[in-house]
Amino acid sequence: MIEFQDVHKAFGPKRVLAGLSLTIPDGQTTVLIGFSGTGKSVALKHIVGLLVPDEGRVVVDGEVVSDLDRKGLAVLRGKIGYVFQFAALFDSMSVGDNIRLGLRRRGLAEEAIRERIAESLRVVDLAGAEERFPAELSGGMRKRVGLARAIALRPKYILYDEPTTGLDPVTSAIIDQLMVRTRQEYGVTGVVVTHDMRTAYTVGDRIAMLYQGGIRQVGTVDEIRATTDPVVRQFIEGRPDGLSAEAASVGGTA
Amino acid sequence: MKHSLALRAGSPVRAIAGVGAWFSDSFRALSDIGTWGPLLIGQMRRLGVDSLPIALFIALFTGIVLALLSSYIFTGTVPIYFVGALVGKSIMMELGPVLTALALAGRVGANIAAELGTMKVTEQVDALETLAYEPHAYLVVPRVLAGMLMFPFVTAIAVSLGVTAGWLTAINLLDLSTLEFVKGLRIFYKFKDIWFGLVKASSFGVAVTLMGCVMGLNTRGGAEGVGRNTTRAVVFGCAWILVLDAFWAMVLL
């Protein structure tokens, strides 16, 4: 289980998170939605220790992430796969080596690594792409390799940072299916950051909306669809009238 | 990476703390041999062997010019075989290490800063961390060690070529025999001339690669940030070479 407990985070004068509290239960996919710049990706990076809260704590499986030493953090990261917004593939390495890097760290034998790479690429429908380089791949293929790199580690959690941003609707739907398939095949707990409501409805068990540094509403997909909260309604319907993204940030006025 | 150099932070105390934490992370990463060990040879080839052409090009012309210049200065005042002494001493102790390092500051420092800077702004450094790698062990240590080991290697070869170029110039363009050139070369020679140059070269290697890593891993702001920090890496790398050059002269001479 992942818990945000009254998490505050600022970058210089800009406050991004202001008392974020949220529980992400195991075995489900929780989707974080919200206007641009409301701290969704920042929240995600706290889970894996890439960022440290200014105040409050992030607790993963009973351990406070910011209290972990180097070894503890490595163990924690061993349980978490991270799919980056722009895939963040190592562009000097082939697809196979991108996936191999994390597996080597876990001390797997070369034969097992090769099998794991092939299987992970098969899951994301990129079988046989081991020798290709990131520069030769489309945006959608890169994201699928990023997903393959994450699932190859057999993580307990996978964090998806805007997995469908910048993709055409068909490729977005393919990525959505892969996320659902990943959860079904590996039983992974997912945290998905997105502002694509189709993705949120397709992959999410629960949806939480970030607003002004905290959670505006959290609920099941049906609860969010039926919400009467004007801010959440405006966002999920994508209406341009009403609030702006600036108003949704910390210090904004509704 | 929790610690980033707070170069632009408002508080000097925070900036110093950031610098301290960054270097502390790098020292700690030295113990992670399993991560940096397999990468060291590749970096030694990239930073050292691949830099030989530019270093040798500079050494060749330095040797030629130095022989002609010393002949011009000495003719009619000092015995001409002192050409060998001036060429040997100045190339071994000063021009070889410093000119090689300045050339490599451009090639190696810029290369490291641009590579790591691009990795930083495209979240590849974050990706490395999520795969449970320590960026200082994976990115910084192999590059700095490669610089420390390979700058003296490149310098030694450059010095050899520079002296050889000076000798060939002396016997072909000046009124000097090989025996006279060698006599001059040996007249003030001390073993210290060699190790002094190599120690300096090693420290230059650390400075240049460290500057590349520091600037690369603290890049912000996309392509513009990569360009800005790459320039900084070269400028600060060159500045550190000159500061260290003066430092070693004061300490060891």
Contact A88 B127 (CB under 8 A): yes
> CATH number for the A2-79+157-248 domain, one of 2.60.40.10, 3.40.50.300, 3.40.50.1220, 1.20.950.20?
3.40.50.300
Taken as a whole, chain A contains a residue count of 254
Q: 3-state class of B92 per DSSP?
A: helix
Question: What are A22's strand-pairing partners?
Answer: A4
With pLDDT > 90 as the criterion, what percentage of chain A qualifies?
Answer: 72
Q: Read out DSSP for A7-45?
A: EEEEETTEEEEEEEEEEE-TTSEEEEE-STTSSHHHHHH
Q: 3-state class of A171 per DSSP?
A: helix
What are the pLDDT tens digits along chain B (253 aa)?
444 554 454 567 877 887 888 888 888 899 999 999 999 999 999 999 999 999 999 999 999 999 999 999 988 888 888 999 999 999 999 999 999 999 999 999 999 999 999 999 999 999 999 999 999 999 999 999 999 999 999 999 999 999 999 999 999 999 899 999 999 999 888 999 999 999 999 999 999 999 999 999 999 988 999 999 999 999 999 999 999 999 999 999 8
Q: Could you give the residue ranges of the DSSP H alpha helices within chain B?
A: 12-29, 33-47, 52-74, 82-90, 96-104, 110-121, 124-130, 135, 141-173, 178-187, 191-217, 222-252
Phi/psi at A248 (5° precision): -80, -15
- Measured between CB atoms, which of B28, B122, B132 is closest to A88? B122
Give the mean model confidence (pLDDT) for residues A128-136: 94
- Whether residue A230 has pLDDT greater than 60: yes
Residues of B in contact with A80 (CB under 8 A): 130
- Say if residues A90 and A98 touch (Cβ distance below 8 Å): yes
Q: Would you state the pLDDT for residue A98?
A: 96
- Measured between CB atoms, which of A86, A102, A106 is closest to B123? A86
Q: 3-state class of A56 per DSSP?
A: strand
- Measured between CB atoms, which of A78, A84, A86 is closest to B132? A78
> Which residues fall within 8 angstroms of residue A149, CB to CB, at 6 or more apart?
A81, A89, A98, A99, A102, A120, B131
Evaluated on CA atoms B237, B15, B128, A36, the torsion sign reads negative
Residues of B in contact with A106 (CB under 8 A): 132
Q: Would you state the pLDDT for residue B21?
A: 83
ipTM confidence: 0.88
- Whether residue A100 has pLDDT greater than 60: yes
What is the Cα–Cα distance from A199 to A161, expressed in whole angstroms?
12
Quick one: pLDDT band at residue A167, thresholds 50, 70, 90? confident
Q: Would you state the pLDDT for residue A246?
A: 64
Quick one: pLDDT band at residue A245, thresholds 50, 70, 90? low
Taken as a whole, chain B contains a residue count of 253
Residues of B in contact with A74 (CB under 8 A): 132
- Whether residue A23 has pLDDT greater than 80: yes
- Whether residue A228 has pLDDT greater than 80: yes
Quick one: pLDDT band at residue A244, thresholds 50, 70, 90? low
What is the Cα–Cα distance from B1 to B6, expressed in whole angstroms?
13
pLDDT in tens, A179-224: 998 888 888 999 999 989 999 999 999 999 999 999 999 999 999 9
Q: What is the CA radius of gyration of chain B?
A: 21
What is the Cα–Cα distance from B150 to B160, expressed in whole angstroms?
15
Contact B132 A102 (CB under 8 A): yes
Q: Start-end ranges of CATH 3.40.50.300 in chain A?
A: 2-79+157-248
Q: How far is CA A107 from CA A100, A104, A113, B35, B223, in A?
A: 11, 5, 9, 12, 36
Residues of B in contact with A105 (CB under 8 A): 131-133
> How far A76 CA sits from the closest chain B CA (Å)?
9
